[in-house]
């Protein structure tokens, strides 16, 4: 079933470290050979062996309207003929910035970059430059890309591979990153008290999506906002995953919380490599060339990336009912999976919000990295492979969120639930 993928993976391992260009793709935590994709359309991905999968990663978010969404493909084709890059400003960049500012609350200026990593790295530098302070507070199991400052107790691939401290990140850099459990306000208060006038920023995933999908408990985000206000700390909401996904204005809109800086990635590029950071004019004008905090990019604001993102964002902006429908699809899938897993007598927790969800095999609620790590991740491994063989592509790690796309139909949901039933029967047999 996976012959060609297996052959390709062997070749890939000779020329690409671990055979992949981003660690989670390698299936290390679930074992086995990663599946090499050939093309995708709507809710389905097709691998090099001709197998079809109902896709629940959707490129880790960007494919919110499904793969090869026609208006995006057409726009890319048209703009490619105008040149794939100028290295000079374009009208399109202004149009994109205006659209983003109109969709997202509490931002007046936006700077485009090329990935979520760059967005978070630059937002932190800006917070440091703006406050004149060095330290940052982050949460265990939250992932803000692979910049040095964030590779302390990080989620996503760092958690998947069980890496405790990352070789190559100097102790001096790591010392400025303070880490506390998600959903634990008293721990944040204590850190702030212990480090008076030293914390530049608190950065948080407003819904954690890099240790499974974990929701903020009531009062958590409000409490962080409050701590930042009282202590002159810049509140950074990392909306790389949640931006344009939980609502058109992201988690800020959904939870009605104001961030000082917001970071974006994933959906913002419509599947092209794009990130952005944004905020109030007063802070953003510290960025070069308006201010002295240096940040730059040869391909930033790239026209092909901009038109792909713009086309996708414009659709989301003009059809807010997409979010209601996404939520309905997700709820239907969650209900179906709960009943399938329940019928099989498997203890489970299904966390979900909007079009993000995750399944954990545990009898207690999953609220932070410790609880996510304590779930039966060996069962997840078997579940993952059983589902893969039945044509359902789940995230290859229990420490990742599932993403539902608008291309997913009721028949796909039914197919997935049936696959879950059959998978559990096969596992128990």
By the 10 Å C-beta count (0-12 exposed, 13-18 middle, 19+ buried), 95 is classed as: middle
Short-list 163, 186, 190, 187, CA closest to 174 = 163
Instruction: List phi, psi (to 5°) of 388.
Output: -60, -45
Contact call for residue 140 and ligand PLP (CB under 6 A): no
Looking at the DSSP bridge assignments, the partners of residue 45 are: 40, 53
Contact call for residue 392 and ligand PLP (CB under 6 A): no
- From 1-9, 83-91, 137-145, 300-308, give the range in contact with ligand PLP by CB under 6 A: 137-145
CB of 113 to ligand PLP, least distance (A): 9
- From 11-19, 109-117, 363-371, 382-390, give the range in contact with ligand PLP by CB under 6 A: 109-117
Active site includes 143? yes
Short-list 27, 21, 50, 24, CA closest to 37 = 50
Short-list 387, 398, 418, CA closest to 55 = 387
d(CA 275, CA 264): 5
Measured from the CB atom, is 209 or 250 closer to ligand PLP?
209
Active site includes 55? no
Contact call for residue 23 and ligand PLP (CB under 6 A): no
Contact call for residue 205 and ligand PLP (CB under 6 A): yes
63 within 8 A of 245, measured Cβ to Cβ: no
221 within 8 A of 238, measured Cβ to Cβ: no
- Residues numbered 238-257 forming contacts with ligand PLP, rule: CB under 6 A: 238, 240-241
Q: Binding-site residue total for ligand PLP (CB under 6 A)?
A: 15
Q: Identify the residue whose tokens are 């803000």.
A: 144
CA distances from 92 to 95, 105, 278, 304 (A): 5, 21, 17, 10
Short-list 44, 43, 45, CA closest to 5 = 45
Measured from the CB atom, is 205 or 412 closer to ligand PLP?
205
d(CA 402, CA 330): 10
Contact call for residue 116 and ligand PLP (CB under 6 A): yes
Contact call for residue 271 and ligand PLP (CB under 6 A): no
Measured from the CB atom, is 209 or 395 closer to ligand PLP?
209
Measured from the CB atom, is 5 or 122 closer to ligand PLP?
122
Contact call for residue 144 and ligand PLP (CB under 6 A): yes
Among 238, 260, 368, 412, the active-site one is: 238
Active site includes 47? no
Q: Coil, helix or strand for 145? A: coil
- From 72-80, 237-245, 385-393, 412-420, give the range in contact with ligand PLP by CB under 6 A: 237-245
Contact call for residue 211 and ligand PLP (CB under 6 A): no
- From 72-80, 233-241, 339-347, 351-359, give the range in contact with ligand PLP by CB under 6 A: 233-241
The residue within the footprint of ligand PLP, chosen from 54, 109, 120, 207 (CB under 6 A), is 120
The residue within the footprint of ligand PLP, chosen from 27, 143, 323, 403 (CB under 6 A), is 143
CB of 275 to ligand PLP, least distance (A): 6
Measured from the CB atom, is 265 or 309 closer to ligand PLP?
265
Structure-block tokens of residue 237 = 């909401």
Contact call for residue 157 and ligand PLP (CB under 6 A): no
Contact call for residue 115 and ligand PLP (CB under 6 A): yes
Please report how many Cα atoms fall inside a 13 Å half-sphere around the Cα of residue 198, on the Cβ side.
Answer: 12
CA distances from 253 to 106, 123, 250, 311 (A): 9, 20, 6, 21
CB of 6 to ligand PLP, least distance (A): 27
By the 10 Å C-beta count (0-12 exposed, 13-18 middle, 19+ buried), 299 is classed as: middle
Site string for ligand PLP, 280-299 (x = CB under 6 A): --------------------
> Minimal CB distance to ligand PLP: which residue?
116
Among 135, 138, 266, 329, the active-site one is: 266
Structure-block tokens of residue 404 = 């539902």
Kindly write down the DSSP assignment for every residue of 389-404, as one continuous string.
HTTEE--SSTTS-EE-
Contact call for residue 9 and ligand PLP (CB under 6 A): no
CB of 248 to ligand PLP, least distance (A): 18
Structure-block tokens of residue 154 = 């990080």
- From 143-151, 244-252, 288-296, 388-396, give the range in contact with ligand PLP by CB under 6 A: 143-151
Enter the DSSP assignment of 28.
T
- From 3-11, 129-137, 234-242, 411-419, give the range in contact with ligand PLP by CB under 6 A: 234-242
Which pairs from 339-342 meet CB under 8 Å and 24+ separation? 339/417, 340/417, 340/420, 340/421, 340/424, 341/420, 341/424
Active-site residue set: 143, 238, 266
| Binding-site ranges for ligand PLP (CB under 6 A) | 115-117, 120, 143-145, 205, 209-210, 238, 240-241, 265, 275
């Amino acid at each position: 079933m996976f012959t060609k993928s297996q052959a390709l993976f062997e070749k890939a391992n000779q020329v690409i470290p671990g055979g992949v260009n981003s660690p989670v793709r390698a299936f290390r935590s679930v074992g086995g050979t990663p599946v090499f994709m050939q093309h995708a359309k709507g809710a389905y991905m097709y691998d090099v062996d001709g197998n079809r999968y109902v896709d629940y990663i959707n490129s880790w978010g960007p494919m919110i309207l499904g793969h090869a969404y026609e208006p995006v493909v057409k726009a890319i084709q048209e703009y490619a003929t105008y040149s794939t890059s100028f290295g000079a400003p374009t009208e399109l960049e202004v149009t994109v910035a205006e659209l983003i500012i109109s969709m997202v609350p509490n931002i007046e200026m936006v700077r485009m970059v090329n990935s979520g990593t760059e967005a978070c790295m630059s937002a932190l530098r800006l917070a440091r430059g703006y406050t004149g302070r060095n330290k940052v507070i982050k949460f265990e199991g939250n992932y803000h890309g692979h910049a040095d400052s964030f590779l302390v107790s990080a989620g996503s691939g760092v958690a998947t591979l069980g890496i405790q401290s990352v070789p190559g990140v100097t102790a001096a850099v790591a010392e400025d990153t303070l880490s506390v459990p998600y959903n634990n306000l008293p721990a944040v208060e204590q850190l702030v008290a212990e480090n008076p006038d030293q914390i530049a920023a608190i950065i948080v995933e407003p819904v954690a999506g890099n240790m499974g999908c974990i929701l903020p408990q009531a009062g958590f985000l409000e409490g962080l906002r409050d701590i930042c206000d009282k202590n002159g700390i810049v509140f950074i909401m990392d909306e790389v995953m949640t931006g344009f996904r939980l609502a058109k204005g992201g988690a800020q809109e959904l939870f009605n919380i104001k961030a000082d800086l917001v970071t974006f990635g994933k959906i913002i590029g419509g599947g092209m490599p794009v990130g952005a950071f944004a905020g109030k004019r007063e802070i953003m004008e510290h960025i070069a060339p308006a201010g002295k905090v240096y940040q730059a990019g040869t391909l930033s604001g790239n026209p092909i990336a901009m038109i792909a993102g713009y086309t996708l964002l414009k659709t989301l902006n003009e059809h807010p009912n997409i979010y209601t429908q996404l939520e309905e699809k997700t709820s239907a899938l969650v209900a179906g999976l709960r009943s399938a897993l329940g019928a099989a007598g498997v203890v489970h927790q299904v966390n979900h919000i909007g079009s993000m969800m995750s399944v954990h095999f545990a009898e207690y609620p999953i609220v932070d990295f410790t609880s996510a790590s304590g779930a039966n991740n060996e069962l997840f491994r078997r579940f993952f492979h059983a589902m893969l063989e039945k044509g359902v592509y789940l995230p290859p790690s229990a420490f990742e969120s599932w993403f539902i796309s608008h291309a997913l139909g009721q028949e796909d949901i039914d197919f997935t639930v049936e696959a879950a039933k059959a998978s559990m029967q096969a596992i128990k047999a």
